[in-house]
Amino acid sequence: METIYKYKLEPIIELEVPTRREFLTVHSQGDDIFLWMKVDARYFPNYFNKIKIRYFGTGSAIPDGLNLKFLGTAFLPSGLVFHVFEEM
């Protein structure tokens, strides 16, 4: 059974997610940034792995040596913009 899961993000966060997943979108709600993904819930809790998610504000330095996959951009009501990546 597929289900949509929602994860509240921090600047750097590790999440335990099912191995069968599909990233859908990144968006803000109020002052928080969230990631939505479609998961195959039949594999919970036996088949999951940890992923690391990071976000950086526009104009912020990204440390050298990180292997990042872009997931999306979140626009906060304050006007701040953050870019979300999965660390590979």
Average pLDDT of the chain is 92
What residue spans define the domains of the chain?
A: 2-87
68-52-28 Cα angle (round to 5): 85
**Model-level pTM?**
0.89
Q: Are 70 and 39 in contact (CB under 8 A)?
A: no
Q: What is the pLDDT of residues 35-76, one digit of tens each?
A: 999 988 776 666 778 999 999 999 999 999 999 999 999 999
Q: Cis (ω within 30 of 0) for the bond into 63? A: no
Residue 45: strand, helix, or coil: coil
Q: Are 60 and 35 in contact (CB under 8 A)?
A: no
pLDDT of residue 81: 98
The answer on pLDDT for 3 being more than 70 is: yes
Measure the CA–CA gap between 64 and 43, rounded to whole angstroms: 35
